[in-house]
């Protein structure tokens, strides 16, 4: 899919946000694995433990690319001026029959070298646009309690639904709570 005007790079932000089609997603698994490995190494609680073997990260992104090919999910990426993927987020659209209006937001990742530049905020705005395009009106996500992402989602207008203590493990094995959020579009 071509870059939309709203997601194109601007003088103040040299980052471009794009929605990847199935072929682009499959061709990007190595670059996406780089972002995932960097985030997990940096302590992000995103379903993986550290050390994260590269083959496991690549296999995960191959599965995501397969989901894009089946139209089960939307894959958005943030690219720098050199075309390097520095961030990503997914909109999981394959839902049960009684939830056709809902989608999950997952794996909002920004490489540590690209943080504090508004990349996450732009990815979240793009995921809202993608949800609108996919006719999804209720979005749900979860994140580690007390982390930077929790504050990002609150600033973006997401509603905190609740916290589950000791829900998951951090990459180093420490227990962490998870905060659930929803957003009505």
The Cα–Cα gap between 47 and 75 comes to 18
Please, where are the H alpha helices in 28-156?
29-41, 54-69, 119-133, 148-155
Q: Is residue 159 part of a domain?
A: no
Q: What is the reported pLDDT for 10?
A: 60
Q: What is the reported pLDDT for 108?
A: 98
- Give the range of the structural domain holding residue 91, as residue numbers without chain letter: 5-137
Q: Is residue 178 part of a domain?
A: no
Q: Which residues pair with 87 in a beta bridge?
A: 78, 110
Q: What is the pLDDT of residues 125-149, one digit of tens each?
A: 999 999 999 999 999 999 999 999 9
Own/partner contacts of 73-77, CB < 8 Å, gap of 24 or more, are 74/19, 74/127, 74/130, 74/134, 75/19, 75/20, 75/25, 76/17, 76/18, 76/19, 76/20, 76/123, 76/126, 76/127, 76/130, 77/17, 77/18, 77/20, 77/28, 77/32
Domain tally, the chain: 1
Domain holding 83: CATH number?
A: 3.40.630.30
Task: Please give the chain's pLDDT, 185 residues, in tens.
Answer: 444 434 666 656 699 999 999 999 999 999 999 999 999 999 999 999 999 999 999 999 999 999 999 999 999 999 999 999 999 999 999 999 999 999 999 999 999 999 999 999 999 999 999 999 999 999 999 999 999 999 999 999 999 999 999 999 999 999 999 999 999 99
Q: What is the reported pLDDT for 9?
A: 64
Residue 64, both tokens: 């995501």
Q: Rounded to a whole number, what is the distance in angstroms from the first to the last CA of the chain?
A: 23
Q: Is residue 167 part of a domain?
A: no
Q: Is 84 helix (H, G, I), strand (E, B) or coil?
A: coil
Q: Is residue 44 part of a domain?
A: yes
């Amino acid at each position: 899919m071509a870059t939309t005007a709203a997601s194109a790079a601007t003088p103040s932000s040299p980052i471009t946000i794009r929605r990847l089609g199935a072929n682009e997603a499959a061709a990007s698994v190595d670059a996406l694995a780089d972002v995932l490995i960097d985030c997990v190494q940096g302590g992000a609680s995103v379903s993986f433990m550290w050390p994260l073997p590269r083959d496991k990260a690549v296999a995960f992104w191959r599965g995501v690319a397969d989901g894009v090919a089946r139209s089960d999910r939307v894959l958005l990426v943030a690219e720098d001026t050199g075309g390097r993927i520095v961030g990503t987020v997914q909109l999981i659209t394959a839902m049960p029959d009684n939830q056709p209006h809902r989608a999950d937001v997952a794996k909002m990742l920004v490489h540590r070298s690209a943080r504090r530049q508004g990349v996450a905020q732009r990815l979240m705005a793009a995921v809202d646009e993608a949800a609108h395009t996919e006719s999804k009106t209720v979005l749900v996500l979860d994140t580690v309690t007390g982390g930077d992402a929790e504050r990002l989602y609150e600033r973006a207008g997401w509603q905190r639904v609740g916290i589950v203590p000791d829900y998951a493990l951090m990459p180093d094995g420490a227990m962490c709570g998870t905060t659930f959020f929803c957003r009505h579009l």
